[in-house]
Structure 1
C-alpha cells in the first residue's frame, strides 16, 4: 500500500512520464518542484506537515515556490533554529530524537478499507512493507478507514499509482494506493466507510490496495488497529 513498500518509492510507470517531476532530497533539505505540496513532502520524507511548517517558518495555506529549499528534520542547523526554552525533545543515547511510541491497539476505531485477503503484511524491517497489501478484484470499492479530510488525491508520487491521503486529526494519516479511479478531491471531508476509490493496479503489477496508517508521520502496522477480518 501506500503502494507501499511506500517508504521506498517504486519506479514510475510509463503513463506518468508526462507528469511534473517530484522534488528531491539533497542532504537535510528538500528542493521543491512543480506539483509539490507540503503534505506530499511530509509523507515522502517521513515527517509531518506541522513539523515542516515549524522548521521552515511556514504558515497556512503553506504556499511553496518551485526551487525553494525546505529544511527536513535531523539537520544540525534545523535543531539550532527550532530549539526553545520551554520544550526540549527527548533524545536517545546517540543524540537522535526518539520516535513517538505507537498508540495502543483499540485507541481509535478504524474500518477495513477493502474486502480481500492480506497478500503482503506490514514489516518494520529496513526496506520492509510499511503498510499492508490487500488483494481483490479490479473495480472493487475502496472505503475510508475513518472520517477525515482528503489532503492529497493524485498520481505524482512515484510508485504509488493513483494515491489518496486522508488526514484524521493532528496525529493520523491513512494512505490508499494503486487505485483504478479516485472518487474524491483534495480538501473534501469524508465519512468513515465512505467509498473513495475503486481498486486497480496503477503503479503496480497486480490488482490490489496498498494501505497505510501513519501515526505522527511514523508507519504503524494496520492489522494491529483494524478489527479482525472475516
Structure 2
C-alpha cells in the first residue's frame, strides 16, 4: 500500500509530503484507523481507486515528421504515438494549430500514456511512481488540469520501476486531490450537473462540473481560537492553512458556495476531509472532521453545514484544519476571511 501523507505543511528543503507543522509521528502517535473515527455517507471509493491505471506507456523516439496531405495535429499524434499538445509545444504551434504539406515537425521523444475514460491524474501518477506535479510540469497543464479521454500525456523519467518501487514512490496530498482527482472526460462528454441532495451517489468515474466563477467572498467555517497560523510554524515546518480550536461536533460551514469534489479519510494526517471547489480555480479544504454530511458532486451554499469537527488524523485536540487554495497554490486564509 502506498504511503499517503499530507501536504498541509512542508519542511524547508524537504519533500512536500511531510505531516504538517508537527514532528514526524512516533509509533505511539500513529492516527487511529480513519474508518473507525470518521463517519461518512455511503459512497464509492474515489476515482483513483475505482479506476486504477495500467502503466502501459509507449516509448516514442525523437524524430522529424514531414506533414502529408490530409494530416492534422491529432492525426500526426496517432501516427507517431506522441501527444498532440507536446508536438504543438515543440514546434511553437498555437490554436488553431495550422500546419501545411511539406512542413517538418519535431516529434518530442519520451514515454506517452494514453488516457482512458475515468482515469485521474492521481491514478496515473500512482501507476508510474511519478509525482503528479511533475506530470503537470512536463505537459504544461493549466488549471483546472482536467484530462480528456484519448489524450496522450508525457510521463517524466525513463527508469523502469517495479510495482513495489512505484508504490513506495507514490504519495497522495491535498494538492493532488484538488488538481488531479477528477476523472478524464471524453471530448464531448458533459460533466455531471451538481445536485443539492446528499442522497445521490455519483459514480466515482463520472466527472463533476465545478462552478465557472466564484460568487461573493469567503466566510469563517467555524469560530474559535487560531491554534496555528499560516506559514512557518515549528522549526522546519510550514502550514498551508490555519488550525482552529473548536469543541467536538461543532458544525463546519462551507466558507463559500461551491461543489463538493472530495469527501473521505485517505489523508491519515488530516483524518476526515471535505474539499469544495468554488470557481475561478479556488478550492477550500476542511480537515480533522469526525462526521461528513455531504457527497461528492453535491452543490452547497455558503454557510451550509458540511461536516462536524473532530480530532481525527494527527490532531492534538478537537480542531479544524482549513485551507484556501488558488489552483495548486495555498493562500493565507486570514487574508481572505472577514476581520473581527
- State the TM-score, normalized to the length of structure 1: 0.63
RMSD over aligned Cα atoms:
3.5
Partner of 2:218: 110
Residue 59 of structure 1 deviates from its aligned partner by 7.4
Partner of 1:69: 128
Separation in 2, partners of 1:189, 1:61: 21
Q: Deviations over 1:22-75 (max 9, x none)?
A: xxxxxxxxxxxxx5646xxxxxxxxxxxxxxx8966477445479622753347
- Please point out which of 261, 267, 286 is paired with 1:151: 261
Separation in 2, partners of 1:221, 1:202: 23
Separation in 2, partners of 1:139, 1:196: 12
State the number of aligned residues: 172
Partner of 1:123: 231
Say if 1:223 and 1:57 are closer, same or farther in 2 by CA, change over 3 A.
farther
Superposition pairs of residues 158-169 of structure 1, within 5 angstroms: 158-169=268-279
Kept in 1: contact 2:323–2:330 (CA 8 A): yes
- Please point out which of 327, 332, 340 is paired with 1:216: 327
**Greater helix proportion:** 2
Say if 1:62 and 1:147 are closer, same or farther in 2 by CA, change over 3 A.
farther
Say if 1:82 and 1:134 are closer, same or farther in 2 by CA, change over 3 A.
closer
Separation in 2, partners of 1:206, 1:65: 36
Superposition pairs of residues 48-197 of structure 1, within 5 angstroms: 58=115, 61-63=118-120, 64=123, 68-69=127-128, 72-74=132-134, 79=138, 82=140, 109-123=217-231, 127-197=237-307
Separation in 1, partners of 2:135, 2:275: 27
Separation in 2, partners of 1:174, 1:136: 18
Kept in 1: contact 2:251–2:309 (CA 8 A): yes
Kept in 1: contact 2:281–2:327 (CA 8 A): yes
Say if 1:143 and 1:156 are closer, same or farther in 2 by CA, change over 3 A.
same
Separation in 2, partners of 1:170, 1:70: 30
Where do 5+ consecutive residues of structure 2 fail to align?
A: 1-5, 11-16, 37-44, 49-84, 86-111, 142-214
- State the TM-score, normalized to the length of structure 2: 0.44
Separation in 1, partners of 2:128, 2:224: 42
Where do 5+ consecutive residues of structure 1 fail to align?
A: 19-34, 39-53, 84-106
- Please point out which of 12, 19, 22 is paired with 1:9: 19
Partner of 2:338: 227
Separation in 1, partners of 2:252, 2:271: 14
Separation in 2, partners of 1:65, 1:222: 31
